[in-house]
Amino acid sequence: MRNPSKYSTAQHKMYSEKALDYLEKHGRMTAHDLADAIGVPVLVVRGYLYRFLRTGEAHSQKVHGARGQMAFALYGAGPAEGVTDVEIPSRRTVKEFPLHAVRDPLVAALFGQAVHS
């Protein structure tokens, strides 16, 4: 069962119009940035953004990390014309450790020693 909103229908309308106006004036931004800008919780803003996406009043752009995972989404006002997904470089370094073929004593007792290749 859904919890009742603490905002009235008029307040929701006012905040949703404020969110769309802010996107039109300031360009693409994340849902968190938009929520901070208009002073509404992020979950409420996400509801507005999903409605805007369904009606075509806004578009989303996915920003991907270096390994293809989605880092975050940017939302903008209006239909998505010429918007492409953006790839950002990763700052994470991966250390490689040599693999040692050593088994736990219990595993070795049950299944034998590891085979060295």
Which residues, in sequence order, are bridge partners of residue 77?
Answer: 58
Report the C-alpha gap between 74 and 52 in whole angstroms: 13
Instruction: Give 78-106 pLDDT, tens digit per residue.
Output: 766 655 544 445 555 555 555 556 667 78
The pLDDT score that the predictor gives to residue 88 is 47
Q: Which of 5-19, 31-45, 54-68 has the lowest mean pLDDT?
A: 54-68
How would you list the strands of the sheet with 86-87, edge to edge? 70-77, 58-64, 86-87
The pLDDT score that the predictor gives to residue 86 is 46
DSSP character for 66?
A: T
Report the C-alpha gap between 69 and 65 in whole angstroms: 5
- The radius of gyration of the chain from alpha carbons, rounded to an integer in Å, stands at 24
Which residues, other chains included, contact 35 with Cβ-Cβ below 8 Å and sequence gap of 6+? 41, 42, 44, 45
- Domains, the chain, in order of start with CATH, read 9-87 (1.10.10.10)
What are the φ and ψ backbone dihedral angles of 39, each rounded to 5 degrees?
A: 75, 35
Q: Is the pLDDT of residue 50 over 60?
A: yes
Residue tagged 């009742």 (tokens): 4
